[in-house]
Amino acid sequence: MIFKDHHIISMTSFSKDMIDHILETAEKMEPIALGKQKSDLLSGKVLAVLFFEPSTRTRMSFETAMYRLGGDVLNLGSVDASSIAKGETLADTIRVVDSYADAIVLRHPREGAAFLASEFSTVPILNAGDGAGHHPTQTLLDLYTIKRQSHLDGLKIALAGDLKYGRTVHSLCYALSLYGAQITMISPPELRMPEEIINDLENRGAKVTEVESIEEAIGEVDVLYMTRIQKERFPDPAEYQKVANRLKITTDLLKDAKQELRIMHPLPRVNEIHPDVDDTVHACYFKQAFYGVPVRMALVALVLGAIE
């Protein structure tokens, strides 16, 4: 399987075999990601990180992935302090940076930015989120978390929160449909998963159920994936508060859960998960954040052709 020189723009370009290969590669990277094993696989290589939007976790985990593999990171820095302030187009920025670095991680507020960048770049583009578009490395680390902390085959998963606008949730569902997952959608009526997506998922082999409260699903599932509900989606703050209160995880709620239940969250969380939950065996979100490192190590090493 050849990933060398490929752009990583969206999950839609990945077959199940390709995903499995990335996850297996990530697993080999884990001891290095944990700092238990040294590597100079990418020594002499330079990864450019161009973040046109805030992000701690994604940027830092890409950077640490590169460092753990012996490589270096070239950071665009804050956009204000760059040529972009002088009105340079993204295409021009990419055509300069691609001659400084061996691969480019791009985060951009505009949907389609990563694809546009890939049209101009002579080095692999890794999409680290393009607005309402795609964020494939998040989906891959979510899948990796499920694989490592639960199981991908025969998975029963519930997704809770904003299922209408949450791009990572859509992307994750498509990927899970490849594994025939049983997916329970938990959301307030205003933020339901779009009908077309549900149809798509069912056509691809997923089983989909919809409920309105976490209680209805908590006893059945292997994984509960929580997401943040953005206040901005609601014209009325009182309405937001009502919805937000309903979709919260507490230790009390977890008394009906299976021992094996794993709770995931892309972070940062605001109030969706009570801090008491952190100390239970179910909490899995900080582990999930860590798993971004081996997954991104795998991706960078694969597109640079350092491994196959």
Q: Which of 253/267 has CB closer to a copy of itself?
A: 267
Segment holding 182, helix H or strand E = strand 182-186
Q: Is 135 annotated as a binding residue?
A: yes
Is 121 in contact with 72 (CB distance < 8 Å)? no
Which of 253, 267, 274, 307 touches a copy of itself (CB under 8 A)?
267
Q: How many CB atoms lie within 10 A of CB 82?
A: 14
Residue type, 122: T
The β-bridge relationship of strands 46-51 and 103-108 is parallel
Q: Which of 156/228 has CB closer to a copy of itself?
A: 228
Binding window for a copy of itself (CB under 8 A); candidates: 22-30, 127-135, 145-153, 262-270: 262-270
Task: Kindly determine how many residues on this chain lie close enough to bind a copy of itself according to the rule CB under 8 A.
Answer: 56
Which of 12, 13, 15, 99 touches a copy of itself (CB under 8 A)?
99
Q: Is 268 annotated as a binding residue?
A: yes
State yes or no: residue 84 binds a copy of itself (CB under 8 A). yes
Count Cβ neighbours within 10 Å for each residue of 151-180 and write b for 16 or more, e otherwise.
ebeebbbbbbbbbbebbbbbbbbbbbbbbe
Q: Which of 92/252 has CB closer to a copy of itself?
A: 92
List C-alpha distances in Å: 149 to 77, 143, 284: 35, 10, 8
Write out the catalytic residue numbers: 57-58, 86, 107, 135
Residue type, 172: L
Binding region for L-aspartate:
86, 167, 228
Which residues bind to a copy of itself, rule: CB under 8 A?
35, 38-39, 43-46, 48, 51, 54-57, 59-61, 63-64, 67-68, 70, 72, 74-78, 80-88, 91-93, 95-97, 99-102, 267-270, 275, 286-287, 289-290, 293
